[in-house]
Amino acid sequence: MAKKSVYMDYNATTPLHPAVKEEMVRSFDLFANASSMHEPGRSARNRVEHVRQQVAAYIGAQPDEIVFTGGGSESNNTVIKMFTCPGCDEHCVHNDRNEIITSAIEHPSVIEAVEYMESMGKKVHFLPVDSTGKISTNAMKKVISERTGLVTVMLANNEIGTLQDVRAIADLAHASGALVHTDAVQAVGRIPVNVDELGVDYLSFSGHKFYAPKGIGVLYSRRTKPFCRFLHGGHQQAGRRAGTTNTLCIIGMGKALEMVVKESEKTNARVKTLRDRLASGLADLVPDIHVNGNLDSGLSNTLNVSFIGAEGEAILLYLDMEGIAVSTGSACSSGSLEPSHVLLATGVGPELAHGSIRFSLGRESTDEDVDYVLEKLPPIMQRVRKMSTVYEGGCR
Amino acid sequence: MSTGFEWVYTETVKDHFTNPRNILEDEDSFAPDGRGIVGNIKCGDQMLMVIKVQDDKIIDCKWKTYGCASAIASTSMLSEMVKGMKLEDAYKLRPQDIVRELGSLPEHKIHCSVLGDRALRAAIEDHYKKSGQDKRIVHEEAKTICQCMNVTDRDILQAVKDGAHTYEELQFRTKLGTVCGQCKGKAEELLHEYTHLYG
């Protein structure tokens, strides 16, 4: 097969949906400040508020519970850092609950934000996960108390696709009077997301994971729960997030969500078939592999595989030379000496974590893409393993 | 994750990564005169180097590695560099020598290439032992000060003797403290001590 370009890194980001691109191009001249009183301003505001309604409807919320942000990381930081609020007004989160509960496999924008909270004097509990990445509610029962202020747990894991039982976690948290946040960045567009069914008080997601542009995200904040703003300096979005509204990207995200409603069921089923074929093809063609996470219960677009006796960055770059884009949990790609914290938390051990490759598929993935990877990967693995010090002797 | 611009490494690194030289295929038929293995796959890198020796020169060198692209490329490059080299010269090779031949490596990658020279030294020492030349083994009681660049207190002493008087000059000569920077305090102490004694 001739060299082609195969993108299998949809969990990192997605290309714009053509309909999104078209809608954004059509709206490019809509430059007015959505906070302005004049007609062009009102016109921009109408578009923004329309999307706010769309987003709210999609996740089962009210429009005034939706705050547009710069992305998932900002949404996550906003929620977590509320808990340093010294008491800004009577609606703020300030209370004497000094503990935060999260999991060992969160995104860095949660992990590093709660570590920052630790440095501010909060106590943080990192819940362990099982071999598939699931949080044990028993572990949570041991640490939750009347001292818990916030429980923040991701809905779908970016590296291995594990889905958490957020509802059960939220019920436990609420029983102790804690507030509940979920990072749903990898979930929206891939599985149904409804704030009441999940039982959460706050929820984060980001446009660019479902074919909208980068730089636009959402923070859902339940009406009846406190909210402290992160960005000060303007009255935009009812004073909850300062900064001139990113009208164009909001319009793009609205269109993307419309397409999710129209297409995602069909797309996700097709993507699952492709992912499953890739998984079984790899199992047939490449010996000594270990599938991370759980293909049956996790995100249906994600396949995370560890190749015994091989190092992930080398595999990634050999694939890259063939035009195949994937990612790895190896330390070498991150600049640190530690491999993926997610894989280590599932107990696979550093060797397997260093040898992990994540394939994440999406709406433009094709049967030909899967064929191409299944053609190119086996010889690459033979090559990497042939020069490996550990393949023949150690692990076999 | 891989970056999109150009390539993550220099053309030389890419060349050695794409076409690694001197991979060891069958150790038994190679029948090495010296064998050295260093590193730990828990840390993501392990290297094996084997050498053939004649007239006190390395006449052939082969290797295996478990590691990233720069580990593969740097070991490949080292195996080319040492062919025909006198044992005593090869014994003195340091990571900087490999990095120089490769053009450059991203700073955070340099710890990978450090293993190549250590594996080679281990292979040479193995040869010395096997051939009854134990006395040629330099029993370095040297302590590693900079883990990232594998710079020892001996290296710092040598740099001071060669004229390094400030921390910056020490960094320039040894590349110490240019990755994570954790060794700065210890290195400055030694610089002070050695400058006092030998400077």
pLDDT tens sequence across A175-223:
999 999 999 999 999 999 999 999 999 999 999 999 999 999 999 999 9
**Interface touch B44/A332, C-beta < 8 Å:** yes
Measure CB to CB from residue B68 to each of A313, A351, A386 and give the nearest one.
A313
Backbone torsions φ then ψ of A71, nearest 5 degrees: 145, 180
Q: Are residues A64 and A99 in the same domain?
A: yes
Measure CB to CB from residue A321 to each of B1, B18, B111 and give the nearest one.
B18
Quick one: which H or E segment has residue B161?
A: helix B153-161
Instruction: Please report which confidence band the pLDDT of residue A235 belongs to, taking 50, 70 and 90 as the band edges.
Output: confident
Q: Are residues A148 and A270 in the same domain?
A: no
> Chain B residues with CB inside 8 Å of A389's CB?
37, 39, 41, 46-48, 64-66
CA distance A168 to chain B (A): 34
**Helices of type H across chain A:** 18-26, 39-59, 72-81, 108-119, 137-143, 166-175, 195-198, 247-285, 312-321, 331-334, 341-345, 350-354, 367-386
Q: What percent of chain B has pLDDT over 90?
A: 46
Per-residue model confidence (pLDDT) at position B197: 65
Q: Are residues A66 and A193 in the same domain?
A: yes
Residue A244 identity (one-letter amino acid): T
Per-residue model confidence (pLDDT) at position A332: 66
Q: What mean pLDDT comes out for the span B177-196?
A: 82
Distance CA A98, CA A103 (A): 17
**Dihedral over Cα of A45, A46, A50, A53: its sign:** positive
**CA dihedral of residues A13, A15, A17, A22 (deg, nearest 10):** 130
Do the domains B144-198 and B11-136 match in fold?
A: no
pLDDT at A331 over 60: yes
ipTM (interface predicted TM): 0.85
**Buried (b) or exposed (e) across A322-336, using 16+ Cβ within 10 A?**
bebbbbbbbbbbbee
pLDDT in tens, A106-126: 999 999 999 999 999 999 999
Q: What mean pLDDT comes out for the span B43-69?
A: 93
**Interface touch A12/B1, C-beta < 8 Å:** yes
Distance CA A218, CA A210 (A): 13
For an interface test with A, which of B66, B74, B118, B180 has the most A Cβ atoms less than 10 Å from its Cβ? B66
Q: Are residues A246 and A272 in the same domain?
A: no
Distance CA A267, CA A257 (A): 14
Window 10-29 of B, Cβ < 8 Å to A: 17-18, 20, 23, 25
Q: What is the mean pLDDT of chain A?
A: 94
Answer yes or no: B43 catalytic.
Answer: yes
Q: Are strands A99-103 and A123-127 parallel, antiparallel or unpaired?
A: parallel
Last residue of a domain, one of A258, A273, A295: A258
pTM, rounded to two decimals: 0.88
Identify the DSSP state of B108.
Answer: G
- Plot region of A374 (φ>0 → left; ψ -120 to 50 → alpha; else → beta): alpha
Q: Are residues A239 and A279 in the same domain?
A: no
Q: Are strands B57-66 and B45-54 parallel, antiparallel or unpaired?
A: antiparallel
Q: Which residues of A touch B (CB under 8 A)?
A: 9, 12, 309-311, 313-314, 316-317, 320-321, 325, 327-328, 330-333, 335-337, 339, 349-351, 354, 386-391, 394
Last residue of a domain, one of A258, A288, A317: A258
Domain that holds residue A387: 6-15+264-395
CA distance B156 to chain A (A): 25
Per-residue model confidence (pLDDT) at position A396: 34
**CA dihedral of residues A347, A350, A355, A357 (deg, nearest 10):** 50
Q: Are residues A275 and A357 in the same domain?
A: yes
Last residue of a domain, one of A225, A258, A291: A258
Specify the length of chain A in residues. Answer: 396
Per-residue model confidence (pLDDT) at position A103: 98
User: What is the total count of domains within chain A?
Assistant: 2
Q: Are residues A210 and A300 in the same domain?
A: no
Answer yes or no: B180 catalytic.
Answer: no
**Interface touch B69/A394, C-beta < 8 Å:** no
CB count in 10 Å sphere of residue A266: 10
For an interface test with B, which of A317, A338, A344 has the most B Cβ atoms less than 10 Å from its Cβ? A317
CA distance B147 to chain A (A): 12
Per-residue model confidence (pLDDT) at position A337: 63
pLDDT at A335 over 60: no
Closest to A292 measured CA to CA, from A258, A330, A325: A330
Measure CB to CB from residue B23 to each of A313, A314, A387 and give the nearest one.
A387
- A124 strand-pairing partners: A100
- A148 strand-pairing partners: A99
CATH of span B11-136: 3.90.1010.10
What SS3 state is found at A161? coil
**Interface touch B71/A310, C-beta < 8 Å:** no
Q: What percent of chain A has pLDDT over 90?
A: 89
What is each CA distance from A1 to A56, A275, A369, B100, in whole angstroms?
A: 46, 20, 11, 38
Per-residue model confidence (pLDDT) at position A395: 37
CATH of span B144-198: 1.10.10.1100
Q: Is B52 part of the contact surface with chain A (CB cutoff 8 Å)?
A: no
Domain spans, chain B: 11-136, 144-198
CB count in 10 Å sphere of residue B27: 14
**Interface touch B67/A330, C-beta < 8 Å:** no
Looking at residue A44, which CATH number applies to its domain? 3.40.640.10
pLDDT at A295 over 60: yes
Closest to A294 measured CA to CA, from A284, A304, A286: A304
Q: What mean pLDDT comes out for the span B51-70?
A: 95
Q: Is B1 part of the contact surface with chain A (CB cutoff 8 Å)?
A: yes
What is each CA distance from A101 to A24, A119, A145, A177, A199, in whole angstroms?
A: 39, 15, 10, 13, 16
Q: Are residues A170 and A314 in the same domain?
A: no
CA distance A130 to chain B (A): 21
Q: Is A1 a member of any domain?
A: no
Closest to B104 measured CA to CA, from B2, B3, B12, B1: B12
Q: What mean pLDDT comes out for the span A57-65?
A: 98
For A89-131, what is the HEC assignment?
A: CCCCCCCCCCEEEEECCCCHHHHHHHHHHHHCCCEEEEECECC
Residue A121 identity (one-letter amino acid): G
CB count in 10 Å sphere of residue A196: 11
Per-residue model confidence (pLDDT) at position A46: 97
Burial class (CB in 10 A: 0-12, 13-18, 19+), A17: buried
Q: What is the mean pLDDT of chain B?
A: 86
Give residues with Cβ within 8 angstroms of A91, minimum separation 6: A226, A227
Backbone torsions φ then ψ of B98, nearest 5 degrees: -75, -45
Window 80-109 of B, Cβ < 8 Å to A: 108-109
Looking at residue A289, which CATH number applies to its domain? 3.90.1150.10
Q: What mean pLDDT comes out for the span A318-330?
A: 95
CA distance A351 to chain B (A): 5
Distance CA A155, CA B23 (A): 45
Q: What mean pLDDT comes out for the span A360-371?
A: 98
pLDDT at B1 over 60: no
Distance CA A202, CA A223 (A): 10
What SS3 state is found at A9? strand
Per-residue model confidence (pLDDT) at position A265: 95
What SS3 state is found at A293? coil
Distance CA A145, CA A242 (A): 34
pLDDT at A152 over 70: yes
Of the given ranges (A11-15, A54-58, B191-195), which has the lowest mean pLDDT?
B191-195
Per-residue model confidence (pLDDT) at position B3: 42
**Interface touch B44/A321, C-beta < 8 Å:** no
Q: Are residues A171 and A70 in the same domain?
A: yes
Burial class (CB in 10 A: 0-12, 13-18, 19+), A46: exposed
Q: Is A372 a member of any domain?
A: yes
Q: Are residues A199 and A278 in the same domain?
A: no
**Interface touch A330/B44, C-beta < 8 Å:** yes
pLDDT in tens, B106-133: 777 776 556 889 899 999 999 999 999 9
Distance CA B112, CA A332 (A): 9
Q: What mean pLDDT comes out for the span A84-111?
A: 89
